[in-house]
Amino acid sequence: MANKEKLLASAQKHLKKKALPKAIKDFVKVIEVDPNDMRSRQKLAELYSRTGNSGGAFEQYETVAKYFSSNGFYLKAIAIYRQMQKLDPTQISIHARLGELNEKQGLIGNALSEYRFLVEYYEQNEMTEEVIRTLERMQEIDADNLNISIKLAEILAGNGQLAEGRESLDRVLKDLQEKQDYARILKVYKKFLPLFPNDSNLRKGLAAALLEGGEQEKGLELLQNLLRDKPDDAEVLKLLAGAYRERADLNNCRLTYQHLLKLDSSNLEHRAALIDCCLEGEEYEQALAELEDWKEGFQSGGQLPFLKASYEQLKHHLPENRAVLQTLNSIYELTGDTEKLFDALGSDSEGADDSVGEESVSDTLLDTTSEDVDDDQVLDIADIESPFDDFVELDSAAEETAEDDEEIIELEISDQLQVEAIEEDSLDLNFDLGEEDDLPVSRDLQAELEEAEFYLQQGLFDEAERVCRELLEANPGDEACQLKLDDILQRRDSMAAESDASNELHDLANEVLEDGFSDLALESLDSLLGDDDTSEFDDLLAIGKESPVFRTDVDDQIAADDMESHYNLGIAYREMGLFDDAIGEFDKAQADPSRFVDCQTLKALCYSDKGEFDKSEAAYRTALSSASLDDGQRLSLHYELGMLYENFQHTEQALASYRLVFEADPHFRDIAEKVASLNDAQGTASRPGGKDRISFL
């Protein structure tokens, strides 16, 4: 080791004499003696660099960087790799190593910057697998960065990996939908529809986004054209119904839900929506008919609150309707709402004298007599049995003599049933809820005409015409069918002559399915989405050093990174002479209020080292303006500022700064000597404190 000390001493002598080749020889021998002397290796690398031996410098730096990295000194390793990067910017592997080291240190923003450079390089050299791998790594460390996911989805889809690309795209759309950022959602769809031309779900998503974003007309256009490709698509129909309801187009809303129920009559959600549509459109009789037919299903499906609200609304508009009152009574009995039950019973007895007050809940919900039965055809229980109050007495008697009463009750019920059987022969109550084929032809006709009207409203003329012609075939000469068919044919001819936007979009859809997106198709898509300037979005998807594609929001990223790491890395960069990099790190670290003044001071020193006086002074002034300064920090800053002025030959300003420090604390560092020296330099005989004061020297 003694030999090593002599070599180091010799090297220092040669450095003082600026005999760099001789100093290099000494350091080479030091390393031969002690290969683990990283300080000497680093010094040797610096000397190689100064003498133009970039290869030798690079080799020594790499050894030092690997040593620091393997031993967990990530900040030191980062600083060394940055120095290597300046020596040879073409070494792409350095960016990969810097990305990994910044990741390990928790400096996510720095890591993303290095990975972004890699993506640019790989794209330029058509290294697709490397691009994807790097983007996936970026997504892992910054999962909330939508720009990364967008770029990844674009690269995957553009290279035939549609499933993976769609998965990445779905994550973007889900996040944007949660944020309700519909403007950007539309831009995403505009970018990706050409990459997924056969994906109908994307077009449905676009339609939904248009509707959610308040662009109802454009959303309807797209939905109606989607319906042309698949008239029975329940998802499209549901979106369409919602759009009509939002526009208060209750007729089309009702027709659409009827079409949905034709596809799945047991869907209570669609049934409830149809009933709501009827109620909003003041079609109370149709709403009641739907409710009466499906009240058992709503009850068993846990929709009693919906039934209650609907029947209460009907009671308000149909106060005399016995079916409404009886069902509402049963609902109140089920919900235990006794006050409303008695009110409803009172209304029932006043509005309908012949109502059956003693039906059980299940009887009422399942077998309520339709309102269209004539009053004189209904058997009045009061004529056969005792009044309502007498039923209580019968029940009491039944408890005392169960067997006798059982026989009596059976006899009475049998007699009653005989009477009812006779009466039913002459009544057409029509409780048959069988298949449609068993229903009267007139009811079939009306339902099919409404189906034709639905197709007509959506512009599905072929479907509407087909329904009408089938009806005319089954009902020759029917005037209503013929009028509907004439209306369909007339409107189709008119639509064809006008060449409206819907047909253009339909042509676009066909072109997409057959040939992909041409320039003309993209122009048509532009007209659908609007003429908004999308250059900003396109920039997000561009790759480049200045592109914001992977640039994270500064505040968010700083919150995620370790401020202490930024601060320490800045110090490491400054020690390596990487002043710009150091300033960048201090800019990030200053977000920590406790580090703000220190970061400004260190930035000022970096600017001073670079010879940028104005920026250095500005940094000191910024630090001095901090409200969190204590007295000690303020004195230190004035002292450092004085040194800046002195170094750049601003003697008067330097003296002014030093005097501020001296007046506050005459014993601060070497402030007395500083003031005296500058006074002498200006030829001032007096010392600090005035002419009458005794010299410090």
Q: Where residue 345 falls among pLDDT bands split at 50, 70, 90?
A: low
Residue ranges of domains in the chain: 2-212, 379-425, 437-498, 592-681
Dihedral sign from CA coordinates of 680, 682, 684, 688? negative
Alpha-carbon distance of 123 to 547, in angstroms, equals 14
- Return the minimum-mean-pLDDT range out of 92-101, 452-461, 465-474: 452-461
Per-residue model confidence (pLDDT) at position 122: 94
Cα(368)–Cα(379) distance, rounded to whole angstroms?
14
> What type of residue sits at position 290?
E
In the predicted structure, residue 123 carries a pLDDT above the cut 70: yes
Q: Is the per-residue pLDDT at 551 higher than 60? A: no
Phi first, then psi: what are they for 620, rounded to 5°?
-60, -45
Superfamily of domain 592-681: Tetratricopeptide repeat domain (1.25.40.10)
Q: Where are the beta strands (DSSP E) in 536-653?
A: none
Which pLDDT belongs to residue 605? 94
Whether the pLDDT of residue 505 is over 50: the answer is: no
CA quadruple 177, 179, 181, 187: dihedral positive or negative? negative
Give the span between the Cα atoms of 316 and 40, in whole angstroms.
Answer: 95
Residue reference for tokens 């209304």: 347
Per-residue model confidence as pLDDT tens digits over 23-39: 999 999 999 999 999 99
Q: What does the pLDDT read at residue 554?
A: 36
309, with CB counted inside 10 A (0-12, 13-18, 19+), is middle
Query: Average pLDDT, stretch 312-337?
Result: 89
- Over residues 163-195, the pLDDT tens digits come to 888 888 888 888 888 888 888 888 888 888 888
Predicted confidence band of residue 497 (pLDDT cuts 50, 70, 90): low
Is the pLDDT at 5 greater than 80, yes or no? Answer: yes
- What's the pLDDT at 682? 74
User: 384 pLDDT exceeds 70?
Assistant: no
Task: Please state the pTM of the whole predicted model.
Answer: 0.55
Over 90: is that where the pLDDT of 369 sits? no
Give the model's pLDDT for residue 692: 39
> Could you report the per-residue pLDDT of 621-654, keeping only the tens digit for each?
999 988 888 888 888 899 999 999 988 988 888 8
The per-residue pLDDT for 120 is 93
pLDDT over threshold 80, residue 513: no
Greater model confidence, 104 or 552 = 104
Tell me the C-alpha to C-alpha distance, in Å, between residue 669 and each of 635, 666, 675, 680: 10, 9, 12, 19
Per-residue pLDDT at 135 = 94
Higher pLDDT, 602 or 551: 602
Alpha helix segments (H runs only) across 475-534: 479-498, 501-515, 519-529
User: 690 pairs with which residues across the strands?
Assistant: 687
- In this predicted model, what pLDDT tens digit does every residue of 34-64 receive, in sequence order? 999 999 999 999 999 999 999 999 999 999 9
Asked whether residue 434 carries a pLDDT value surpassing 50, the answer given is no
Q: Model confidence at 361, in pLDDT bands (50, 70, 90)?
A: very low
For 145, residues 6+ apart whose C-beta sits below 8 A from its C-beta are 112, 138, 139, 550, 552
Reported as a pLDDT band with limits 50, 70 and 90, residue 453 is confident
Which CB contacts under 8 angstroms, 24+ apart, belong to 306-310?
A: 306/272, 307/331, 308/332, 308/335, 310/275, 310/276, 310/279
Q: Would you state the pLDDT for residue 620?
A: 92
Q: Which pLDDT band holds residue 9 (cuts at 50, 70, 90)?
A: very high
In this prediction, residues 587-616 reach a mean pLDDT of 91
Fold of 2-212: 1.25.40
DSSP state of 196: S
Q: What number is the average pLDDT over the span 493-520? A: 51
Helical ranges in 281-401 per DSSP H: 284-300, 304-317, 322-335, 338-351, 361-367, 381-384, 390-400
CA distance 188 to 309: 41
- Residue 130: the pLDDT is 95
Give the C-alpha separation, 417 to 389, whole Å. 22
Q: What is the mean pLDDT of residues 58-80?
A: 92
Instruction: Work out the pLDDT band at 392, boundaries 50, 70, 90.
Output: very low
Collapsing DSSP to helix, strand or coil, 690 comes out as: strand
Same CATH topology for 2-212 and 592-681: the answer is yes
